[in-house]
Amino acid sequence: MTLKALILAAGQKPLSSGTGALELQPLGDTTVLGHVIRNLKGLVAPRDVIVVSAPGTLKAVQMEVGWEPALVIQDTPLGTGHAVLQAADALAGFDGDLLILYGDTPLLRPASLRGLLNRHRLKSVSLTLLTANVPQDLPYGRVRRDEHGKILDIVEQTEADDETKAIRELNVGAYIVKAATILDALKRVAAKGGEIRLTDCVKQLLHSGLKVDSYQLYDVDEVRGINDAGDLEAAAFILQKRLFRPHRQEEENEVAFGTGGWRAIIGEGFTMHNVRRLSQALANEITRKGLEKKGVIVGYDRRFLSRQAAEAASEVFAGNNIPTILCNEDAPTPLINYATAMLGSGFGLAFTASHNPPEWNGLKVFHGDGSLLLDDETRVIAAETNALTTADVIKLELDLAIEAGIVAVKDFTNQYIDAVEALIDMDAIRKAGLRLAIDPMYGVGQLTLETLLTEGRCRCHFIHNRHNPLFGGRSPAPDPDAMRDLINMMQQDHYDLGLAMDGDADRIALLDDRGRYISFNDVLVLLYWYLHEVRGQTGGVVRNLSTTHLLERLAKAFGEKCTETPVGFKHIAAGMVADNALLGGESSGGLTIRGHILGKDGIFASGIVVEMVARTKAKISELQEKVWAITGRLYSAEENFPATPEMKIAIPQRLKKDPCTTVAGYAVERISHVDGTKLYLENDNWAQLRFSGTEPVLRLAAEADSPEKAAELIAWLKQFASA
């Protein structure tokens, strides 16, 4: 069944004196009319779009459309029905359906237009109109029905009595109708003279006995048209809000990178189709840069579909004549990172969703030096991925690729462990005879860490170490709540240390000999002190915006530099390279040091913590007292606040329009909007609001002179976020 679309954009109503027609007003990255046209993508062929325009706006409309649809001029504004009649010549000989839209209704979703069309075709009716049940009293026609739900009439608001005005079902103003049917009806209305309204014609069709149906909207935001500057501002807010709608990318089959790579729900956004498209985009980038001979390394963790995704990616690289190394078994992300840098590959791929819940999976992509791709690079890769179709993907079946030698299956475990051991004082660990309790959280960290620590003659007791892609029914994130089993074991059996890792083993958490959770802020400060004072190494430290300022105090005491970066270890790695820093870390459990990989490494982090305890022969609490004697104390507090799409727009707008001068009564010295909003107070105190790049939450963080003050700051942030 053929379909054409007719957009009525000849209103010429300016928003204010001196402005152009409202349909051509800027809205987001295009204009009001641009959004209406964009909503037709994939629904109507460009050659089948007709725009009715006012005189003098023809060129602007052509530029906005971006292709060459039929453009029709309405010289005299005699009503919306008259505007449709101007397209009669363009529709001559066309006997299919006509989708009629207004050029000032940019908020209709493409899915709603598809629903309207689908219902029209399945019901085999002559006319289908778009309706919505809206609680507000808006200036739209009311849809009057009989007791059986049959549409009887559309009553304009200006003509409605009190009973009709109480009807909440509105005529939104989008229709699908046979082109010949609507044009014949309009000609009959035109014969009466005067203004020709499209709704009068629709009412005539309703009363003529033709089969009529409707498709109902449930998102009231779609109903809003653009009539004034306030509507335009509200529309901009709604469009931005939709960008942050949970799973928007997955529903639209799009790949989008966050702070730690691409992550999506399995079966929703994480599909083999998207894995292959993303691999093709990466293969295209390698080919463009002439890096084919460098090849790629593809690894994976224990998550559901990780191995299958790695094999699918390998087939795509092989199909593009790019030599590929596929890891022979599930492996920690830092091992894949190390192997990528060791071989100087074109790219390294690690299929993992890190600490996300088990229903998620994803991909981290490394440069040949082992650093993660930066934001501007991932935006380009994602855009190319989303433009590709199944037909654009080139692949070679894995068995053929292995037989041909374009894909090789290899193991880097021993080389990686050797590299880690070269950075750790294994002799000191062997002499200490430590007893360790370790929880890899059903992830990939056990083999490498057990090998490392066993060679250090440690007595290791592992829990949650078998392969379980459901991670025991929880997120494999090493936070205090998830470590209760390990804490209990520590307290009962009196181990020297307790260690936990996340699902892909790039982050850790630490328990002291009493089973007390040590915040990773404190771990970073201890390690920076240890590297400088005990090992005798020099150099600055790099931390992100959400990590303790005690590192700054300690660096100052050492005469070194402390650099602050946005959240995301890729920024920390870049800062370390720029400053030749000794240590880089983040409060969420990740760190690396100069001379090791440009990514966080939970295996190495565990090893260096064990070395610190072995070499100093001191308890964690004793080491903390030594460091606090230099830095003083600061106390951290964090809380995750469920984030709605509206919050992601409204909170940054409020903070920028009305900058905070105080937080919980404490003076704000300066504000940073580099990554979320960070409010700097006196004496290295601070408070921060930042939307997560991997989960639908608003992260609240604070650091203050006392636990009570830190709690005050968090309480203020929560109140601000919920206002």
**70-73 and 49-53 as β-strands: parallel, antiparallel, unpaired?**
parallel
Task: Tell whether 451 and 576 lie within a shared domain.
Answer: yes
Q: Tell me, what's the pLDDT at 426?
A: 97
d(CA 528, CA 551): 8
Instruction: Tell me what the mean pLDDT of segment 584-609 comes to.
Output: 96
Instruction: Lowest mean pLDDT of 45-49, 520-524, 650-654, name the range.
Output: 650-654
Task: Tell whether 543 and 474 lie within a shared domain.
Answer: yes
d(CA 542, CA 577): 10
Instruction: Tell me what the mean pLDDT of segment 77-81 comes to.
Output: 84
Q: Is there a domain that residue 47 lies in?
A: yes
pLDDT higher than threshold 50 for residue 259: yes
**What would the pLDDT profile of 267-321 be if each residue is shown by its tens digit?**
989 999 999 999 999 999 999 999 999 999 999 999 999 999 999 999 999 999 9
Instruction: Lowest mean pLDDT of 53-62, 488-497, 522-531, name the range.
Output: 53-62
Task: Tell whether 457 and 602 lie within a shared domain.
Answer: yes
Task: Tell whether 559 and 616 lie within a shared domain.
Answer: yes
Q: What share of the chain is helix, strand, coil (3-state, %, to 5)?
A: 40, 25, 35
Find where tokens 């929560």 sit.
Answer: 718
d(CA 436, CA 462): 9
- Domain stop point among 411, 442, 461: 411
Query: How big is the chain by its Cα radius of gyration, in Å?
Result: 31
Q: Is there a domain that residue 333 lies in?
A: yes
Find where tokens 């109109």 sit.
Answer: 129
Q: Tell me, what's the pLDDT at 57?
A: 62
Q: What percent of the chain has pLDDT over 90?
A: 59
Q: Is there a domain that residue 250 lies in?
A: no
Q: Which among 543, 536, 638, 617 is positioned nearest to 581, based on CA atoms? A: 543
Write down the number of H helices and E strands in the chain.
25, 34
Instruction: Lowest mean pLDDT of 103-107, 386-390, 532-536, 583-587, name the range.
Output: 103-107
Q: Which among 466, 718, 494, 449 is positioned nearest to 607, based on CA atoms? A: 449
Q: What is the CATH number of the domain that holds 645?
A: 3.30.310.50
Domain holding 65, by residue range, is 3-132+171-192+200-232
Q: Tell me, what's the pLDDT at 444?
A: 96
Q: Tell me, what's the pLDDT at 41?
A: 81
Which of helix, strand or coil describes residue 273? helix
Tokens of 618: 């001191």
pLDDT higher than threshold 60 for residue 18: no
* Chain Cα centroid distance, residue 479: 23
Task: Tell whether 385 and 514 lie within a shared domain.
Answer: no
**What would the pLDDT profile of 662-695 be if each residue is shown by its tens digit?**
999 999 999 998 888 999 999 999 999 998 766 6
Task: Tell whether 554 and 656 lie within a shared domain.
Answer: no
State the helix-helix crossing angle for 198-207 and 179-190, rounded to 10 degrees: 110
Q: Is there a domain that residue 162 lies in?
A: no
Instruction: Tell me what the mean pLDDT of segment 421-448 comes to.
Output: 96
- Domain stop point among 346, 376, 411: 411
Contact assessment for residue 239 and residue 117, using Cβ atoms and an 8 Å cutoff? no
Mean pLDDT, all residues of the chain: 89
Task: Tell whether 335 and 403 lie within a shared domain.
Answer: yes
Task: Tell whether 712 and 618 lie within a shared domain.
Answer: no
What DSSP element (H or E) covers 713? helix 707-722
Q: Burial letters for 501-531: b for 16+ Cβ neighbours within 10 Å, e otherwise?
A: bbbbbbbbbbbbbebebbbbbbbbbbbbbbb
Which of helix, strand or coil describes residue 407? strand
Instruction: Tell me what the mean pLDDT of segment 170-199 comes to.
Output: 86
- Domain stop point among 355, 382, 411: 411
Which tops the pLDDT comparison, 225 or 373?
373
Instruction: Tell me what the mean pLDDT of segment 34-46 comes to.
Output: 85
Q: What is the CATH number of the domain that holds 487?
A: 3.40.120.10
Which of helix, strand or coil describes residue 336? helix
Q: Which are the contacts of 363, defined by CB distance < 8 A and separation ≥ 6?
A: 261, 262, 275, 278, 309, 349, 350, 351, 352
Per-position DSSP letters for 345-374, written without gaps between them: -SEEEEE--TTS-TTEEEEEEE-TTSPBPP
Which of helix, strand or coil describes residue 83? helix
Q: Is there a domain that residue 657 lies in?
A: yes
Task: Tell whether 309 and 226 lie within a shared domain.
Answer: no
Which of helix, strand or coil describes residue 231? helix
pLDDT higher than threshold 60 for residue 16: no
d(CA 361, CA 29): 31
Q: What percent of the chain has pLDDT over 70?
A: 94
Task: Tell whether 30 and 95 lie within a shared domain.
Answer: yes
Instruction: Tell me what the mean pLDDT of segment 382-387 comes to.
Output: 94
Instruction: Lowest mean pLDDT of 228-242, 280-294, 436-450, 545-559, name the range.
Output: 228-242
Positive or negative CA dihedral for 602, 604, 608, 610?
A: positive
Q: Which among 502, 503, 550, 543 is positioned nearest to 525, based on CA atoms? A: 550
Contact assessment for residue 568 and residue 547, using Cβ atoms and an 8 Å cutoff? no
State the helix-helix crossing angle for 645-657 and 707-722, rounded to 10 degrees: 110
How confident is residue 150, by pLDDT bands cut at 50, 70 and 90?
confident
Find where tokens 């559901």 sit.
Answer: 304
**Tally of structural domains, the chain:** 4
Angstrom distances, CA of residue 335 to CA of 142, 330, 599: 64, 10, 10
d(CA 459, CA 451): 12
Q: What does the chain come to in residues? A: 723
Q: Tell me, what's the pLDDT at 433?
A: 94
Tokens of 593: 């040091």
Tokens of 448: 């490498």
Q: Tell me, what's the pLDDT at 12?
A: 58
**541-544 and 517-518 as β-strands: parallel, antiparallel, unpaired?**
unpaired
Positive or negative CA dihedral for 183, 189, 194, 199?
A: negative
Instruction: Tell me what the mean pLDDT of segment 78-92 comes to.
Output: 88
What pTM was estimated for this model as a whole? 0.78
Tokens of 238: 């709604």
Angstrom distances, CA of residue 188 to CA of 93, 181, 204: 19, 11, 10
How confident is residue 17, by pLDDT bands cut at 50, 70 and 90?
very low
HSE of 220, CA atoms in CB hemisphere, 13 A: 11
d(CA 32, CA 236): 10
Q: What is the CATH number of the domain that holds 30?
A: 3.90.550.10
d(CA 207, CA 152): 7
Per-position DSSP letters for 172-212, written without gaps between them: EEEEEEEHHHHHHHHHHHHTT-S---HHHHHHHHHHTT--E
Q: Which among 705, 701, 710 is positioned nearest to 682, based on CA atoms? A: 705
Sheet of 347-351: strand order equals 257-258, 261-265, 360-366, 347-351, 296-300, 324-327, 407-410
Q: Is there a domain that residue 601 lies in?
A: yes
Q: Which are the contacts of 355, defined by CB distance < 8 A and separation ≥ 6?
A: 475, 476, 477, 478, 502, 503, 504, 507
How confident is residue 572, by pLDDT bands cut at 50, 70 and 90?
very high
Q: Tell me, what's the pLDDT at 40?
A: 87
Task: Tell whether 517 and 641 lie within a shared domain.
Answer: no
Instruction: Tell me what the mean pLDDT of segment 441-469 comes to.
Output: 95
Task: Tell whether 273 and 332 lie within a shared domain.
Answer: yes
**What would the pLDDT profile of 611-638 be if each residue is shown by its tens digit?**
999 999 999 999 999 999 999 999 999 9
Q: Is there a domain that residue 80 lies in?
A: yes
HSE of 21, CA atoms in CB hemisphere, 13 A: 19
d(CA 178, CA 168): 28
Q: Is there a domain that residue 160 lies in?
A: no
Which of helix, strand or coil describes residue 270? strand
Find where tokens 């360790």 sit.
Answer: 436
